[in-house]
Amino acid sequence: MGMGDHPQRTPLYGVVLLLGVLLLGLWVRELPNVALQVLAYILLVAIAAPAFVMTFRDYSR
């Protein structure tokens, strides 16, 4: 395996991103402004979608 060639790291990065999104979601629900909550949830979904793909891309074979 060459330097920088670590195929198993991508799912790990995806899981870390998903856990971060879940923890930030707990924080976002405590925001006082509903408009900020909506924007933050949209941003979290935009981060969670690629993280989901990164996590499960190797299991499609």
Q: Is residue 39 part of a domain?
A: yes
Structural domain count of the chain = 1
Give the whole-angstrom CA distance, residue 14 versus residue 16. Answer: 5
Give the three-state DSSP class for 8.
coil
Q: Return the amino acid letter for 57.
A: R
Structure token digits, residue 54: 């990164």
Q: What is the pLDDT of residues 17-47, one digit of tens each?
A: 999 999 999 999 999 999 999 999 999 999 9
Q: Is residue 34 part of a domain?
A: yes
Q: Is residue 5 part of a domain?
A: no
pTM of structure: 0.76
Q: Is residue 47 part of a domain?
A: yes
Predicted confidence at residue 9, as pLDDT, reads: 75
Question: Residue holding tokens 């993280």?
Answer: 51
pLDDT band at 5 (very low <50, low <70, confident <90, very high): low
**Domain with 24 in it:** 11-60
Q: Is residue 29 part of a domain?
A: yes
